[in-house]
């Protein structure tokens, strides 16, 4: 089976992953409308290709918050990479470093931050976090990440509660016994309540600011009003995201929301986008609409499922080649 485009990796993962893992990665909230809209919205956007421009040399490197990456595609935070590949997030970190791009490690990793750092020293990494009811636990995570050389903190704003993913409920999804959310081990007492704090508000950005000198990137913004609030509260970056369509169903596709966020921000902070990226030309569209960089979620997991570190590199390399070709053909 030739791996020619990202859909090939998707088909592979669907075929070879355990159903419960595939369903977890694929899940969208409710009717999965927003999950699918993320992709469909890209297809509705049309290029106006220009001809006879010298495209013999193209520089596709970019900088995000001052750090150079080899091309404008990073790894979005997703949980439980060991469900896709035994080495889990360690493989992800190695692949990202090999391709010289940014990896946002999730709080819900199956490896510790320390293991991730040790697996690929020197790689560009940000750390994704939630604000927990137990603020001391959040504080400890921030300090660990900062001490380990993570270069950004990504605060997820769209998960006061977990969205309703029907297949996960039907499957009774839970991690297999040999996997753990290692970053949080010992941090919480076993309790029935979700450890995440649904009372978090914009003022908690100031609290987070007080804990760290790292840049803060807020993830989950979909409206101009919230983009304005984010800038006002001093974040350094915004990731336009609907959590892969896993939270509130029937909100906007991220590429559509990007337009109004970019306009509201007016260049004051960097804006990124995730959700629905499946081809190099999608990357080009996102950049043309004002994103500084995009992040891929599920495609990274498919790459891991295919061949771990190597498979994820394949995915990134295909996106890179397609992105470069799209740029050339679009002039």
Residues in the annotated binding site: 24, 77-79, 106, 128, 130, 156, 165, 219, 241, 243, 246, 274-278, 297-298
Helix/strand/coil (H/E/C) assignment for every residue in 25-88: HHCCCCCCHHHHHHHHHHHHCCCCCCCCCCCCCCCCCEEECCEEECCCEEECCCCCHHHCCCCC
Residues 13-52 that bind a copy of itself (CB under 8 A): 30-31, 33, 43, 45-52
Q: For residues 124 and 116, what is the distance between their CA atoms, to the nearest angstrom?
A: 11
- DSSP 3-state of 221: strand
- In the complex with a copy of itself, which residue's Cβ is closer, 59 or 185? 59
Helix/strand/coil (H/E/C) assignment for every residue in 185-211: CCCCCCCCCCCECCCCCCHHHHHHHHH
Q: For residues 251 and 47, what is the distance between their CA atoms, to the nearest angstrom?
A: 25
- In the complex with a copy of itself, which residue's Cβ is closer, 109 or 128? 128
- In the complex with a copy of itself, which residue's Cβ is closer, 53 or 178? 53
For the bound state, the minimum distance from the C-beta of residue 119 to a copy of itself, rounded and expressed in Å, comes to 32
Q: For residues 7 and 20, what is the distance between their CA atoms, to the nearest angstrom?
A: 20
Q: H or E element: which one contains 116?
A: helix 113-119
Q: How many residues bind to a copy of itself according to rule CB under 8 A?
A: 60
Per CB under 8 A, the list member of 186, 199, 210, 267 interacting with a copy of itself is 199
- In the complex with a copy of itself, which residue's Cβ is closer, 254 or 313? 254
Per CB under 8 A, the list member of 148, 160, 212, 231 interacting with a copy of itself is 160
For the bound state, the minimum distance from the C-beta of residue 175 to a copy of itself, rounded and expressed in Å, comes to 20
For the bound state, the minimum distance from the C-beta of residue 331 to a copy of itself, rounded and expressed in Å, comes to 8
The dihedral region occupied by 47, where left means phi > 0, alpha psi between -120 and 50, and beta the remainder, is beta
State the burial class of residue 191 (Cβ atoms within 10 Å of its Cβ: 0-12, 13-18, 19+). exposed
Residues 85-104 that bind a copy of itself (CB under 8 A): none
Give me the 270-299 binding string for a copy of itself, x by CB under 8 A, dash otherwise: ---------x-x------------------
Q: Which residues are annotated as a binding site for FMN?
A: 77-79, 106, 128, 130, 156, 219, 241, 274-278, 297-298
For the bound state, the minimum distance from the C-beta of residue 160 to a copy of itself, rounded and expressed in Å, comes to 5
For the bound state, the minimum distance from the C-beta of residue 214 to a copy of itself, rounded and expressed in Å, comes to 19
DSSP string for 249-298: TTS--HHHHHHHHHHHHTTSSEEEEES---SHHHHHHHHHTT-SEEEESH
For the bound state, the minimum distance from the C-beta of residue 188 to a copy of itself, rounded and expressed in Å, comes to 17
Q: H or E element: which one contains 20?
A: helix 19-26
- In the complex with a copy of itself, which residue's Cβ is closer, 175 or 248? 248
Query: Which residues lie below 8 Å from residue 228, measured CB to CB, with a gap of 6+?
Result: 264
Query: By C-alpha distance, which of 241, 216, 243, 242 is closest to 231?
Result: 216
Give me the 236-255 binding string for a copy of itself, x by CB under 8 A, dash otherwise: ------x----xxxxxx---
Residue holding tokens 């790292």?
Answer: 214
DSSP state of 243: G
Q: Choose one: 143-151, 165-173, 177-185, 207-215; the region binding a copy of itself (CB under 8 A).
A: 165-173
Q: Does 178 participate in catalysis according to the annotation?
A: no
Q: How far, rounded to the nearest angstrom, does the alpha carbon of residue 17 sit from its chain's CA centroid? A: 21
What residues are annotated to the active site?
Answer: 243
Binding site for a copy of itself (CB under 8 A): 2, 4-5, 30-31, 33, 43, 45-57, 157-158, 160-161, 163-164, 166, 169-170, 197-202, 204-205, 218, 220-223, 225-226, 229, 242, 247-252, 279, 281, 322, 325-326, 328-330
């Amino acid at each position: 089976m030739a791996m020619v485009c990202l859909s090939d990796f998707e088909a592979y993962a669907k075929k070879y992953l355990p159903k419960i893992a595939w369903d977890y990665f694929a899940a969208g909230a409710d009717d999965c409308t927003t999950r699918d809209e993320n992709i469909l919205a890209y297809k509705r956007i049309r290029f106006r290709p220009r001809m006879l421009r010298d495209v013999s040399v193209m520089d596709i490197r970019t900088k995000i918050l001052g750090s150079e990456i080899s091309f404008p595609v990073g790894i979005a935070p997703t949980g439980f990479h060991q469900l896709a590949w035994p080495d889990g997030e360690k493989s992800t970190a190695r692949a990202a470093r090999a391709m010289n791009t940014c990896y946002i490690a999730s709080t819900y990793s199956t490896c510790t931050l320390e293991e991730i750092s040790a697996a690929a020293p020197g790689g560009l990494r940000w750390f994704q976090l939630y604000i927990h009811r137990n603020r001391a636990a959040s504080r400890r995570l921030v300090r660990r990440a900062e001490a380990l050389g993570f270069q950004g903190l990504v605060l997820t704003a769209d998960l006061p509660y977990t969205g309703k993913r029907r297949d996960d409920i039907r499957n009774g999804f839970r991690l297999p016994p040999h996997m753990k959310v290692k970053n949080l081990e010992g941090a919480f007492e076993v309790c029935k309540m979700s450890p995440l704090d649904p009372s978090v508000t914009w003022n908690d950005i100031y609290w987070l600011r007080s804990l760290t000198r790292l840049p803060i990137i807020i993830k989950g913004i979909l409206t101009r009003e919230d983009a304005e609030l984010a800038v006002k509260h001093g974040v350094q970056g915004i990731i336009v995201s609907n959590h892969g369509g896993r939270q509130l169903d029937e909100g906007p596709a991220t590429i559509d929301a990007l337009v109004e966020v970019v306009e509201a921000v007016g260049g004051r902070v960097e804006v990124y986008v995730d959700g629905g990226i499946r081809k190099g030309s999608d990357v080009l569209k996102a950049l043309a609409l004002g994103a500084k960089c995009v992040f891929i979620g599920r495609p990274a997991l498919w790459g891991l499922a295919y061949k771990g570190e190597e498979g994820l590199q394949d995915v990134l390399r295909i996106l890179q080649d397609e992105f470069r070709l799209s740029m050339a053909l679009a002039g």
